[in-house]
């Protein structure tokens, strides 16, 4: 069975679970929120942009960047972690922007967060929400520091699908991303000349080591020749970067009516040249800022706050 996305005509975030209506309270346990204990509409009803990523430090830094870019009062250093009552996720609200870390790597971590985040947006009666995953990734045939905007998310078999076992059935969901949003992000990147940006396929794997053809794990059941042959097949299929969350992110967001995109920077070298990441820490930090810079520009354009002269300030941010 294949499930495909369906957008609500009124722009509301919708859920596809009839059981929620019969619950006395919907407890968003991993976010430390609930429909009775919190007024979610007051707290989150103005959210228009949600950015998610794996690292709590990166997502706090993105929230602080947005605080500055939106011209809000204060220096943003004392932003409140809304999920501070749990050790699972971190969440920061900056005006109409929500920045969330998924606290980990791989499908289970981001899937749990997405279920509760989407219910949060639904209960808060948010509408016309854009959600973007900001991440690091391994590169395939492209240089480190390149930003990849995903057009198609594929699994490790190079098929555009997300498979999940539900009860004892294998359910296949479409990892379709919003094409207009992808093109809009690319157009924003053309105003930034500090790093290369391209649209290509992203491959999602279940594992960082064997699942990505890495030779350096505790287990390895293949030769370097087989690894390179597999990576070449992926490259020829249009894949330019590898990570571990894109298909589930695209599938869940699409089914719940969210415009979604995946924007990854290549930090883990060109996989045709090896497996070990050897770049200095300060270089990796600069790379991680690149998708944040692109998304902040995109958000400011939508909010009518963008001035081309600010590109000079943004270039300073990237290089310092």
CATH code, domain with 181: 3.40.50.1580
Q: For position 319, what pLDDT does the model report?
A: 55
Q: Look at residue 127 and tell me whether its pLDDT is greater than 80.
A: yes
**What is the rounded distance in angstroms from the CA atom of residue 118 to the CA atom of residue 202?**
23
Q: Are residues 245 and 274 in the same domain?
A: yes
Q: Look at residue 301 and tell me whether its pLDDT is greater than 80.
A: yes
Q: Look at residue 313 and tell me whether its pLDDT is greater than 50.
A: yes
**What is the rounded distance in angstroms from the CA atom of residue 63 to the CA atom of residue 223?**
43
Residues 6+ apart with CB under 8 A from 21: none
Whether 275 maps to a domain, the answer reads yes
Q: Are residues 149 and 265 in the same domain?
A: yes
Domain range for 142 = 136-280
Whether 312 maps to a domain, the answer reads no
- Residue 3: which of 132, 163, 118 has the closest Cα? 163
- Residue 13: which of 152, 116, 163 has the closest Cα? 116
End position of a domain, from candidates 93, 108, 128: 128
Residue 287: Cβ within 10 Å count: 20
Q: Are residues 273 and 161 in the same domain?
A: yes
DSSP state of 127: B
End position of a domain, from candidates 128, 144, 173: 128
DSSP state of 19: G
- Looking at residues 51-62, what average pLDDT do you find? 93
What's the pLDDT band for 194 if we cut at 50, 70, 90? confident
Q: Are residues 119 and 158 in the same domain?
A: no
Beta partners for residue 52, in sequence order: 100, 133
Q: For position 109, what pLDDT does the model report?
A: 92
Q: Are residues 188 and 148 in the same domain?
A: yes
Q: Look at residue 7 and tell me whether its pLDDT is greater than 50.
A: no
- Looking at residues 233-255, what average pLDDT do you find? 96
End position of a domain, from candidates 101, 128, 155: 128
Q: For position 138, what pLDDT does the model report?
A: 92
**What is the rounded distance in angstroms from the CA atom of residue 3 to the CA atom of residue 251?**
9
Please check whether residue 16 is in contact with residue 6, taking contact to mean a CB–CB distance below 8 angstroms.
Answer: no
**What is the rounded distance in angstroms from the CA atom of residue 196 to the CA atom of residue 291?**
11
Query: What secondary structure does DSSP assign to 52-68, as a single string?
Result: EES-HHHHHHHHHHHHH
Number of domains in the chain: 2
Q: Look at residue 136 and tell me whether its pLDDT is greater than 80.
A: yes
- For 230, the enclosing helix (H) or strand (E) is helix 224-236
The torsion angles phi and psi of 98, rounded to 5 degrees, stand at -115, 125
Token pair, residue 158, equals: 């190079």
- Looking at residues 292-300, what average pLDDT do you find? 97
Percentage, residues of the chain above pLDDT 70: 92
Instruction: Tell which phi-psi region holds residue 316, choosing left (phi > 0), alpha (psi between -120 and 50) or beta.
Output: alpha
Whether 142 maps to a domain, the answer reads yes
Whether 6 maps to a domain, the answer reads no
Please check whether residue 294 is in contact with residue 147, taking contact to mean a CB–CB distance below 8 angstroms.
Answer: yes
Q: Are residues 271 and 155 in the same domain?
A: yes
Whether 13 maps to a domain, the answer reads no
Whether 244 maps to a domain, the answer reads yes
Q: Are residues 162 and 206 in the same domain?
A: yes
Token pair, residue 287, equals: 């790379």
Q: For position 6, what pLDDT does the model report?
A: 47
What's the pLDDT band for 278 if we cut at 50, 70, 90? confident
Residue 180: Cβ within 10 Å count: 9
Residue 209: Cβ within 10 Å count: 15
Q: Are residues 175 and 276 in the same domain?
A: yes
Q: Are residues 177 and 59 in the same domain?
A: no
Whether 9 maps to a domain, the answer reads no
Token pair, residue 315, equals: 């270039």
Whether 47 maps to a domain, the answer reads yes
Q: For position 308, what pLDDT does the model report?
A: 55
Q: For position 4, what pLDDT does the model report?
A: 47
Place of tokens 């359910």: 171
What's the pLDDT band for 49 if we cut at 50, 70, 90? very high
Token pair, residue 173, equals: 């969901």
**What is the rounded distance in angstroms from the CA atom of residue 259 to the CA atom of residue 181?**
7
Q: Are residues 96 and 122 in the same domain?
A: yes
Q: Are residues 173 and 223 in the same domain?
A: yes
Q: Are residues 44 and 149 in the same domain?
A: no
What's the pLDDT band for 1 if we cut at 50, 70, 90? very low
Percentage, residues of the chain above pLDDT 90: 77
Please check whether residue 15 is in contact with residue 119, taking contact to mean a CB–CB distance below 8 angstroms.
Answer: yes
Q: For position 104, what pLDDT does the model report?
A: 77
**What is the rounded distance in angstroms from the CA atom of residue 150 to the CA atom of residue 240?**
9
């Amino acid at each position: 069975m294949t499930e495909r996305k369906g957008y609500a005509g009124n722009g509301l975030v919708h859920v596809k679970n009839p059981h929620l209506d019969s619950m006395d309270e919907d407890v968003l346990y991993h976010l430390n929120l609930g429909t009775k204990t919190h007024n979610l509409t007051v707290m989150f009803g103005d959210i228009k942009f949600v950015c998610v990523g794996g690292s709590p430090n990166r997502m706090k830094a993105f929230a602080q960047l947005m605080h500055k870019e939106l011209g809000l009062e204060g220096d943003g250093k004392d932003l409140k972690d809304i999920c501070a009552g749990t050790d699972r996720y971190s969440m920061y609200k900056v005006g109409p922007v929500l920045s969330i870390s998924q606290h980990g790597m791989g499908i289970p971590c981001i899937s749990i967060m997405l279920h509760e985040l989407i219910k949060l947006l639904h209960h808060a009666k948010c509408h016309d929400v854009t959600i973007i995953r900001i991440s690091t990734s391994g590169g395939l045939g492209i240089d480190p520091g390149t930003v990849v905007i995903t057009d198609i998310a594929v699994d490790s078999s190079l098929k555009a699908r997300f498979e999940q076992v539900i009860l004892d059935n294998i359910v296949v969901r479409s990892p379709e991303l919003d094409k207009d949003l992808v093109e809009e992000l690319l157009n924003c990147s053309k105003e930034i000349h500090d790093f290369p940006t391209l649209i290509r396929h992203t491959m999602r794997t279940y594992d960082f080591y064997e699942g990505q053809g890495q030779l350096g794990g505790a287990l390895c059941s293949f030769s370097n020749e087989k690894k390179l042959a597999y990576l070449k097949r992926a490259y020829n299929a249009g894949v330019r970067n590898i990570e571990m969350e894109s298909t589930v992110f695209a599938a869940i967001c699409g089914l719940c009516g969210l415009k979604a995109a995946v924007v990854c920077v290549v930090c883990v070298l060109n996989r045709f040249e090896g497996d070990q990441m050897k770049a200095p820490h300060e270089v990796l930090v600069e790379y991680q800022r690149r998708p944040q810079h692109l998304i902040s520009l995109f958000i400011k354009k939508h909010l009518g706050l963008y001035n081309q002269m600010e590109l000079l300030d943004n270039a300073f941010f990237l290089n310092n």
